[in-house]
Chains A and B, each alone.
Chain A
Amino acid sequence: MWDWSPIRDWLSGIITPYWTLPMLLAVQTLMVMICIILTMAFYTLAERKVIGWIQARKGPNRIGGLLIPGLAQPFADVVKLMFKEIIIPADSNGFLFRLAPFLALVPSLAIWAVIPFSPQHAFANIDAGLLYVLALTSMGVYGIILAGWAANSKYAFLGAMRSAAQIVAYEIAMGFAMVGVLMAAGSLNIGDIIQAQAGLFGWNWTWLFPLLVVYFISGVAETNRAPFDVAEGESEIVAGFHVDYSGMAFALFFIAEYVNMILISALTVIFFFGGWLSPFDGWLPEDSWLAAPGFFWFGLKTLFPMFTFLWLRATFPRYRYDQIMRLGWKALIPVTLVWLLVEGFMVYFHVGPWKGHL
């Protein structure tokens, strides 16, 4: 899909043809990973700045030159975390304790393989892309559970248990919201899902508004972010599942959490806000640059849910655990079920955007 011919040519000049494809994939992976990790690094800075502004203070403002004070804060954080010692508790299960951060990080990075950044740019255009996303989002919980168990600490274990129950509960609502999206598109392929939203008022959020709300709330809960961050709950269980991790081992959990937030934002945009489609699609003439789809629109739209994550964190107090469970099982799942029924009728009777459907 991607026009990689310059790199392909350069690679085929220095290695045997047999290794060109694996090397090309490695180069692609590396480039996307670097972009995501950099976005994540500045997202942490944005979080501190935005929450600072909401609370009428400045946020990080020491490192990074005169132009934008605080700009180099993420790099300072990385340097700090890199040079800290990783402490392995004496009675912990050493192997699983070391394995857990990777199990948390790998799924959150692997999902980017099916995310289309623009009409031409995606790693893999697989038929069951939506299922792949759902399968890998549910994998992240292993890192958290194992971290909590392997540390052999009561606080960590409590955090892991809370997180596991919460993620399993909200995954169902999330899955149902995705079912609504796939009913609207008639396909599991993520490119087709975006393509189906083309045109004036074609984006899914108008017709699937309840599902959008459910999806985003479940996304916040799945990433263990405030107000659903009882798994970390610093006022009760110190830091929850990662209480015993230090240095880069902790940083891996941190990266996984923020990459997951960016991912949920990107998926919200793909499922409900037309992915890389332009908002002026259908308003302006076809040949206008504003109406052209591309990475520009995808990136711009993704920033809004990303900001909402921070906004929520600065606004709401933490939910109590039984309230989280009640919201997940008794509010979000019924809402999705009812709306799936409504959507089924709309598809069947060709109401709204499903006029020419089926």
Chain B
Amino acid sequence: MFPTILFFTFAATLIAAALGVILARNPVYSALLLVLCFFNSAVIWLLLDAEFLGIVLVLVYVGAVMVLFLFVVMMLDINLAELRKGLASYWPLAVAIAGFVVFAMINIIVVKHLGGMSMRTAPALAANYSNTRELGTALFTRYAYPAQIAAVILLVASVAAIVLTLRRRTGGKPQNIAQQVAVRAKDRVRIVKMASEKRP
């Protein structure tokens, strides 16, 4: 009973926040509502005893990705009227694509993997069942190659992003730390011996 109430509360909040993401006028609010979405999905995962996935979702998306999103969104000066200009001509295509994605997801997740729509409770877990351990075992044995390949693709992508955006400003005056550390007193200071003058 109580978990069901929790589930529906968080699911309803999740859907409301997701609608808010696309309907909010202010992009900063959109980003914050997306954070709320991630939180609610994390809680739903926790309710399904998937505590590792739930916490990692918060850690990665809320803790790192969305911070950078907000970082960028806050610095943009977005003209919403400009963005909405083409809405009337684009929306049929957008609806078609969204419909296809929803259909595909229902087909794959619900029909193929869960065997049809039904209300079922998650299977009970053994007392010493560790979510983290199970996930780690699967990731490092059965899915070792896919995980490695995904990691290499991410590495290539981040290197590519750096190569594409790196530009060196000419005329900068960065310090050369090694040079500064290696400096000797005799390079900088010249001691001049002068005979003191006599008072006339």
Chain B residues lying within 8 Å of A127, measured Cβ to Cβ, are 51, 130-132
Determine the distance from Cα of A141 to Cα of B59 in the docked complex, in whole angstroms.
12
Q: Are B28 and A131 in contact (CB under 8 A)?
A: no
Determine the distance from Cα of A178 to Cα of B36 in the docked complex, in whole angstroms.
27
Is B63 an interface position by the 8 A CB rule? yes
Is A171 an interface position by the 8 A CB rule? yes
Chain A contact patch, size range: 20 to 34
Q: Are B55 and A131 in contact (CB under 8 A)?
A: yes
Chain B residues lying within 8 Å of A135, measured Cβ to Cβ, are 55-56, 58-59, 62-63
Determine the distance from Cα of A139 to Cα of B67 in the docked complex, in whole angstroms.
9
Chain A residues lying within 8 Å of B52, measured Cβ to Cβ, are 128, 131
Query: How does the 8 Å CB contact mask read for B57-78 relative to A, with 1 for contact and 0 for none?
Result: 0110011100110110011000
Determine the distance from Cα of A145 to Cα of B51 in the docked complex, in whole angstroms.
28
Chain B residues lying within 8 Å of A126, measured Cβ to Cβ, are 51
Q: Are A168 and B132 in contact (CB under 8 A)?
A: no
Is A164 an interface position by the 8 A CB rule? yes
Instruction: Tell me which of B28, B55, B130 contacts A96 (CB under 8 A).
Output: B28
For residue B126, give the distance in angstroms from its CB to the closest CB of chain A.
Answer: 13
Given A128-B55, A128-B132, A188-B132, residue A139 in contact with residue B63 (CB < 8 A): yes
Is A254 an interface position by the 8 A CB rule? no
Is A161 an interface position by the 8 A CB rule? yes
Using CB atoms, name the residue of chain A closest to B75: A161
Is A134 an interface position by the 8 A CB rule? yes
Is B35 an interface position by the 8 A CB rule? yes
Q: Are A128 and B71 in contact (CB under 8 A)?
A: no
Instruction: Tell me which of B28, B63, B131 contacts A128 (CB under 8 A).
Output: B131
Determine the distance from Cα of A131 to Cα of B63 in the docked complex, in whole angstroms.
12
Is A149 an interface position by the 8 A CB rule? yes
Using CB atoms, name the residue of chain A closest to B35: A142
Q: Are B71 and A161 in contact (CB under 8 A)?
A: yes
Q: Are A131 and B67 in contact (CB under 8 A)?
A: no
Is A138 an interface position by the 8 A CB rule? yes
Determine the distance from Cα of A272 to Cα of B56 in the docked complex, in whole angstroms.
23
Chain B contact patch, size range: 20 to 34
Query: How does the 8 Å CB contact mask read for A130-150 relative to B, with 1 for contact and 0 for none?
Result: 011011101101100110010
Using CB atoms, name the residue of chain A closest to B174: A322
Determine the distance from Cα of A138 to Cα of B70 in the docked complex, in whole angstroms.
14
Given A127-B130, A135-B62, A168-B64, residue A145 in contact with residue B55 (CB < 8 A): no
Chain B residues lying within 8 Å of A145, measured Cβ to Cβ, are 67, 70-71, 74
Q: Are B55 and A132 in contact (CB under 8 A)?
A: yes
Instruction: Tell me which of B32, B64, B74, B132 contacts A138 (CB under 8 A).
Output: B64
Query: How does the 8 Å CB contact mask read for A96-139 relative to B, with 1 for contact and 0 for none?
Result: 10000000000000000000000000000011100110111011
Chain A residues lying within 8 Å of B56, measured Cβ to Cβ, are 131, 135
Q: Which residues of A from 144 to 193 have beta carbons under 8 Å from B?
A: 145-146, 149, 157, 160-161, 164-165, 167-168, 171, 188
Q: Are B74 and A149 in contact (CB under 8 A)?
A: yes
Chain B residues lying within 8 Å of A168, measured Cβ to Cβ, are 64, 67-68
Instruction: Tell me which of A128, A138, A149, A157 contacts B62 (CB under 8 A).
Output: A138
Chain A residues lying within 8 Å of B63, measured Cβ to Cβ, are 134-135, 138-139, 141, 171
Using CB atoms, name the residue of chain A closest to B71: A164
Chain B residues lying within 8 Å of A157, measured Cβ to Cβ, are 74
For residue A91, give the distance in angstroms from its CB to the closest CB of chain B.
Answer: 14
Using CB atoms, name the residue of chain B closest to A150: B28
For residue B49, give the distance in angstroms from its CB to the closest CB of chain A.
Answer: 10
Determine the distance from Cα of A171 to Cα of B131 in the docked complex, in whole angstroms.
24
For residue B97, give the distance in angstroms from its CB to the closest CB of chain A.
Answer: 32
Given A96-B28, A127-B132, A128-B51, residue A134 in contact with residue B67 (CB < 8 A): no
Query: How does the 8 Å CB contact mask read for B65-98 relative to A, with 1 for contact and 0 for none?
Result: 0011011001100000000000000000000000
Closest 8 CB pairs of A and B: A138-B63, A135-B59, A135-B58, A131-B55, A149-B74, A135-B55, A128-B55, A128-B51
List 11 extra interface pairs beyond A93-B28, A127-B51, CB under 8 A.
A96-B28, A96-B32, A127-B130, A128-B55, A135-B55, A136-B58, A141-B67, A146-B32, A161-B71, A171-B63, A188-B132
Complex A-B: 13 CB contacts under 8 Å: A126-B51, A131-B59, A132-B55, A135-B59, A136-B58, A141-B63, A145-B67, A149-B28, A164-B67, A167-B67, A168-B68, A171-B63, A188-B132
